Amino acid sequence: MPDLSKRLLHSHEGKLLLVVLALVIFLSLATKSFLSLQNMIDLLTSYSFSGMLAAGLLVVLISGGIDISFTASASVAQYVAMTIANQYHIGWIEVILICAVVGIACGLINAVLIGTLGLSSIIVTIATLNVFFGLLMFVTHGNEIFALPDWFVNGANWVVYTDKQGNPYIFNLQMIGLIAAFVLTALLLTRTNIGRQIYALGSNKDAAQRVGIKVFRLNLLVYGYMGFVAGMASLVQAQDAQSVSPNALVGRELDVLAAVVLGGASLTGGVGTVFGTILGVMLLAFLQNGLLLLGVQSYWSECFTGAVILIAVSALALERQRQRAGVRRVMA
């Protein structure tokens, strides 16, 4: 076992874990409420949207691509699903299906554009972000949906435990969504052949083609999965917000990207783990939450978060440079 712990410590995930632990200890001592069960439940609930998207985006980054458009796909998915839910008698299964179909469709559009036009994924998805979002705003005139069906508003949460003061602690849909997204992504990446093919594609695209991987089909799957996760995340978010606003989500894509990159995923593909991504999301969540609890003004909080991202990503880049230099020494 010492071998394993040594490996963990030398890996990016191990170092990130130490940083997160240090932050948890500091915030627990510096604030009264940070380490309370209620605060953790609130954090899990409010970061479920970003966390789920981070899981989806991780898959795209490992495959060597990038997706910027997922917040727009999510907005479209939840708007379509909730509009239909308000007009017809449908239930959970139907809204889940609708969100999945819309999300996957958006993802497949990205994959087809990237594959057939041979354009870089960042350009394509910046464009589709604007197209999806623009169409949504045009069709909806930017109107929000405030009234959601009762069964949806009451949602799915279960009181697990009530403390002596009578405060309920709940397990809710948001947590299910978050856990499901990470578990599903981890299974996909580590337990299936498709997962290995995704790492291979991001690691060396030419070699992947030569070894017989059908790159176009794999990209359909990768971007489709991202779209599917975006659809599910949008549902979870709408349930939490208890309303749907067409412009509530767009603009949060870079936070998600930052979390995944903080978690050690490489923008050039081939590298990244679910564990790292969870830590990346946690770091950002704890940081933002902690600054709030410490009473820091929200503008400063954003500035501070940005600085932490910059430091962490620079450290990561330096680490990789050193590794590469090591390789060069071996080769010389």
Residues contributing to the site for other proteins (CB under 8 A) = 190-197, 199-200, 202-204, 206-208, 210-213, 269-271, 323, 326-327, 330-332
Partner residues linked to 170 by β-bridges: 159
Nearer to other proteins, 62 or 85 (CB): 62
Nearer to other proteins, 167 or 323 (CB): 323
Comparing CA positions, the residue from 273, 220, 301 lying closest to residue 16 is 273
Compute CA distances 197 → 185, 190, 265, 287, whole Å: 14, 11, 16, 35
Nearer to other proteins, 3 or 150 (CB): 3
CB of residue 198 vs other proteins: minimum separation in angstroms? 10
CB of residue 322 vs other proteins: minimum separation in angstroms? 12
Comparing CA positions, the residue from 32, 120, 132, 34 lying closest to residue 75 is 132
| Residue 95 CB-density burial (10 A; 0-12 exposed, 13-18 middle, 19+ buried) | buried
Four-CA torsion 183, 196, 120, 317, nearest 10 degrees: 80
Nearer to other proteins, 224 or 246 (CB): 224
CB of residue 294 vs other proteins: minimum separation in angstroms? 39
Could you tell me if 49 and 251 are in contact, meaning their C-beta atoms sit under 8 angstroms apart?
no
Would you call 62 helix, strand, or coil by DSSP? helix
CB of residue 276 vs other proteins: minimum separation in angstroms? 14
CB of residue 261 vs other proteins: minimum separation in angstroms? 16
Nearer to other proteins, 2 or 166 (CB): 2
**How many CB atoms are closer than 10 A to CB 168?**
12
Comparing CA positions, the residue from 203, 221, 250, 257 lying closest to residue 77 is 250
CB of residue 64 vs other proteins: minimum separation in angstroms? 10
| Residue 198 CB-density burial (10 A; 0-12 exposed, 13-18 middle, 19+ buried) | buried
Nearer to other proteins, 93 or 332 (CB): 332
